[in-house]
Structure 1
Amino acid sequence: MSKEQKKDQRFLSVIEKIGNKLPDPAFLFVLLALITIAASALAAQFDLSVTYEGFNAETGEIESITTAVNNLLSIDGIHYMVTNVISNFTSFFPLGPVFTIVLGVSVMEGTGMLSVLLRRIVSKTPKAFISAMVVFLGIMSNIASSTGYIVLVPLGAIIFFASKRHPIAGLAAAYAGVSGGWTANLLLGTNDPLYAGISTQAANILDPNYIVHPTGNWFFMVASTFLVTIIGTYITDKIVEPRLPKYHFSDDDQVDAITQHEKRGLKFAGIAEAIFLIVMGILVLPENALLRNPETGEILTSPFMTGIIFFMMVFFLVPGIAYGIVSRQIKKSKDVTDLMTEGIAGIANFLVLIFFAAQFTAFFAHSNLGTILSVNGAQLLTTIGLTGLPLLLLFILLTMVINIIMPVDTAKWVMMAPIFIPMFLQVGLSPEVTQLAFRIGDSTTNIITPLMPFFVMIVAYFEKYDEDAGIGSVVSTMLPYSGAFLVGWLILLTVWYALGLPIGPGAPITL
């Protein structure tokens, strides 16, 4: 290990120690909520507010919006907090998707099918490519929006475990792929038309005829897929896994060869899955299929994509039940619900965490502190006077900072697009490249911000494999990915800009 590597390891260890000295994650969110309440009261004393051009959700028009801080210690603020505790929890985005997916995965895992399937994958995959495979699958999972956080991250740990490698390294590789993959994919996902719609509305402030297509960042995203896979693999193998303490595998952790009985179970599970996929194909692929958008016929904006979490649950449930019946793990219907109950019991720690995380997130959003800080940062950027590539790079850095305190990407882009797209248009930068710069900054710090909705789930998974792990462990483990992705993307964007390459079909960098 070189001197530089030793310095990096010491730096990450310091971050981990400091982070893990913080209170238990649940109580940390309580503390953050109290700080938010106090900050909102202080800001209200100074009548803090911001005015910016934004979308009116009721009218659908772009207009001047003034946002003032909401004092959470006022009578209205106190009433809001005490009357919304339950709805804050039940409406917290990760709760429903995680709960639903676990119902299906728990059956597949409880019957033993998941273990057998992953052992087979590991046996067929050269060990040198395990990390790359996990990172790549994490990236591709973003086709279905946030499903990768729920499905791929825990599977990354299991795949590494089956390979006799540290499961936390697998968690990190999958998490890096999913978060970094927000600006990378070989295919278009559910977020692309959403971003494009917001960007089009923002561009129409200056040019009523400008249209940003969902494919506007596609060329750059394809290149980023390989970039993130290569960087993520290197960081996992050379930096993250070497600094993890040795994981002690017990005798019960031995990975046995797959038996003929298990192969038979996988065969029937495969047949059941194939039937399910054929049925789904009939419901989705034909031009007038039942699950397509009834008005436009599109798939990306269809009931299928809206209900993707449910279909993912069934995707795991169907082969799990088939395998369980063949292996005699499932003999009656109650066995299925028992397996589901065991799966939900396994995420009890996560449910406790998100109760408190949901309160903090809701309080912070209601206070409007995030909007005020973000708009002030944007206005600061407009006064600097840069153009071209330096302006894009600075915008990426600003987005990274804003993402730490306001990690919900669509809400952030709804606020930022009407500010930056017209501003950048006036200096010759296309709406597509402005959107791309935003996505790069957003993806880079998704990995390390504790305010990201799925962060509490990642902490819970870390604790599953290391009871002493905490927020500091997660941040210190993921920080090398964040820094490396940033450097990689800045270099890639600089080269792309210098060569004047289109970032998508019909989407130039400059106009």
Structure 2
Amino acid sequence: MPESKPPRLLSRVLGTVERVGNALPEPATLFALLALFTLIASAIAQAVDLSVAHPATGETISAVSLLNLAGFQKIVKETVHVFVNFHPLGVVIVCLLGIAVAEKAGLIGAAVRALVLTTPRTWVTPIVVFAGVMSNLGADVGYVLLIPLAATIFHAVGRHPLAGLAAGFAGVSGGFSANLLISAIDVILAGLSTEAARLLNPEYSVTGLANYYFLFISTFIVVGAGTWVTHKVVEPRLGPYTGNVKPEELIPLSAAEKRGLLFTAVFAVLTVAFFLLGVLPAEGFLRNPAYPELMMRSLPFSYLVPFLFAIGFGSGLAYGFGAKTIKSDKDVVGAMNDAMGTLGAYLVLAFFAAQFIAYFNWTNLGLIFAVKGAGALQALGLDQWPIPMMIGLVILAAIINMLVGSASAKWALIAPIFVPMFMLLGFSPELVQAAYRVGDSVTNVITPLMAYFPLIITFARKYDSQMGMGTIIATMLPYSVAFMVAWTILLIIWMLTGLPLGPSAPLYL
């Protein structure tokens, strides 16, 4: 682990953020208080008639008070529905049921040791960050699987497990928009950009490959910045780990473990063949009937969670049979029972987080602030300064991301403002979309409104039961700043050089 200390001023700033954050109540209590504050704020906002016009439809978006009889009835009716339909809840539970079998069988421990024993330690951090970035192809799998695994890997090589958790979180969430391949979010955002562009040009079309070149290079920028922050800031600040959780012992794999990994490899090959046969043919059995012509809308991409359960379950069984660590169905069911037993604290946290996020959405406060912020940026009138305007868009998207979680929801709201505005200045919708995606990614790791933030706290408390929200935010803040700076510089260089952002995706009209 690096011995150099972060600059004294930076240490003081992060220390202050951590102390203030940890001085707040328990995260579950904090979310409950935020929900209460939202109720009060909604009443005040409605009383002063806070509203904006929707930039695309012209429809008035008004603040909705929940501190009245109608609001009370809505809260009572929707409380259970909001909790049960909290997006991360189902993902976490279903994925962990499958992963639990792999963990109980010993697959994860053996795989971590095999990875650590064969990988130079200097490569551990960039591999973790890179894997986090690439995991976004699988929707939310990185949050559930990669982040805790990154902590385990760092712990196994004698480094602070929370540094591994931070590096994994930075890649998965902070690097959300970067990737070497095209994912579903690329197609979704391109569709919204197309609709916004057609407000001026009915023939304009933005493809899912619109930002591919830029995001491909961005992957290496995120990995480099994430590695630097981990080594130079996060690890020196955390210091050595002194908790009670013991690391995986780096002993050579036994014959039984090697046989288990061989069985798992065979299962992996068969699984890949199954997916390829189902996805590649135009009439493959895994193609989505609603979008038969789009491979990226196939069932494994659109409904990944059941497949992740099957992969975790199947690989665990394969390893268990090979290593003889699973002897009956009792071992399998017992593993699942144990996994559910560890989720108690997360369920409590998720309940209050789900209510707060739902209340905030019902009040329209996030949407109103987003439109007003966009209007303020437009009113600056920097028509002759395109680069500062793009930087302003990055900053605005980063701020809005602290209030509205969904990338597509935010873009649906502000694209009709900025895409036509910049088109009139000669800049392409593809460039505006790229600037938005930079800002939309970099603050994911520091906003409690991000749906998986409660899960990150739960993972961290495995290694430090006193872990608070302030420590998480202080740990992740350097990543957010580094990604913002490095990614914005890349965008500026791209604009200065005039390189296309993707196939047939120029910077200028």
Give the shorter-chain TM-score range: over 0.9
1:38 corresponds in structure 2 to 40
Distance 2:152 2:59 in 1: 48
Q: Which residue of 1 aligns with 2:443?
A: 445
Equivalence for 1:247: 241
Q: Structure 2 CA distance, aligned partners of 1:250 and 1:345?
A: 20
The structure 1 residue matched to 2:266, chosen from 242, 261, 271, is 271
Deviation at 1:287, TM superposition (A): 2.2
One-letter amino acid of the structure 2 residue matched with residue 311 of structure 1: F
Q: Say if 1:45 and 1:103 are closer, same or farther in 2 by CA, change over 3 A.
A: same
Compute the displacement of 1:285 (Å): 1.7
Instruction: Map residues 23-422 of structure 1 onto 2, 5 A cutoff.
Output: 23-54=25-56, 63-248=57-242, 253=247, 254-294=249-289, 295-387=291-383, 388-422=386-420
Deviations, residues 162-205 of structure 1 (Å, cap 9, x unaligned)? 21211101100000001122221110112110111111111111
Task: Give the C-alpha shift of residue 358 in structure 1.
Answer: 0.1
- Of stretches 316-325 and 117-126 in structure 1, the one that deviates more from structure 2 is 316-325
Separation (CA, whole Å) in 2 of partners of 1:16 and 1:159: 25
Aligned residue type for 1:356: F
The 3-state SS of whatever aligns with 1:464 is coil
TM-score relative to the length of structure 1: 0.96
Post-superposition CA distance 1:48-80 (Å, at most 9, x none): 1111223xxxxxxxx222111111012111111
Partner of 2:7: 5
Aligned residues of 1:144 and 1:190 also touching (Cα < 8 A): no
Q: How much has 1:250 moved relative to structure 2?
A: 6.5
- The verdict on how the C-alpha distance between 1:113 and 1:2 changes in structure 2, with shifts beyond 3 A counting, is closer
Q: More displaced, 294-303 or 385-394?
A: 294-303
Residue type at the aligned position of 1:190: A
- TM-superposed CA distance for 1:336, in Å, is 1.2
Shift of residue 430, structure 1, vs aligned partner: 0.8
CA gap of 1:328–1:496, structure 2 versus 1, over 3 A, is: same
Cα deviation, residue 423, structure 1: 1.4
The answer for unaligned runs of 5 or more in structure 1 is 55-62
Q: 1:101 to 1:264 in 2, by over 3 A?
A: same
Distance in 2 (CA, whole Å) between partners of 1:251 and 1:200 is 51
Identity %: 42
C-alpha separation in 2, matches of 1:406 and 1:307: 24
Distance verdict in 2 for CA 1:378–1:130, change over 3 Å: same
Question: Matched residues in 2 for 1:367 and 1:275: separation?
Answer: 49
2:87 touches 2:451 (CA, 8 Å); kept in 1? yes
| Residue 4 of structure 1, CA deviation | 6.8
Shift of 1:475: 0.3
By how many angstroms is 1:104 displaced?
1.1
Q: What's the TM-score, normalizing by structure 2?
A: 0.96
Distance 1:303 1:4 in 2: 46
Displacement, 1:334?
2.9
Taking the aligned partners of 2:52 and 2:72, their CA distance within structure 1 comes to 23
Higher deviation after alignment, 331-340 or 168-177: 331-340
Q: Distance in 2 between matches of 1:311 and 1:76?
A: 41
Assess if the C-alpha contact under 8 Å between 1:273 and 1:318 holds in 2. Answer: no
Inter-partner Cα distance in structure 2 for 1:361 and 1:189: 26
Asked if 1 retains the 8 angstrom alpha-carbon contact of 2:245 and 2:463, the reply is no
Contact 1:101–1:313, Cα closer than 8 Å, also in 2 = yes
Which stretches of structure 1, 4 residues or more, deviate above 4 A after TM superposition? 1-4, 249-252
Contact 1:407 1:442 in 2 (8 A): no
Q: CA deviation at 1:149?
A: 1.4
Q: Distance in 1 between matches of 2:60 and 2:340?
A: 43
Shift of 1:365: 0.2
* Structure 2 gap ranges (5+): none
CA distance in 2, matches of 1:417, 1:309: 30
Give 1:326 shift: 2.7
> What do you get for the CA RMSD once the two structures are aligned?
1.5
Question: How far off its partner does 1:344 sit?
Answer: 1.9
Please list the CA deviations of residues 360-382 of structure 1 after superposition, one character each: whole Å capped at 9, or x if unmatched.
Answer: 00000001111111111111111
How many Å separate the matches in 2 of 1:482 and 1:3? 19
- Give the AA of the match of 1:465: Y
Is contact 1:134-1:173 (8 Å) kept?
yes
Cα separation, 1, equivalents of 2:499 and 2:280: 33
C-alpha deviation, 1:3, in angstroms:
8.9
CA distance in 2, matches of 1:145, 1:232: 20
Contact 1:139–1:182 (Cα < 8 Å) also in 2: yes
Q: Distance in 2 between matches of 1:16 and 1:257?
A: 40
Post-superposition shift, 1:329? 2.6
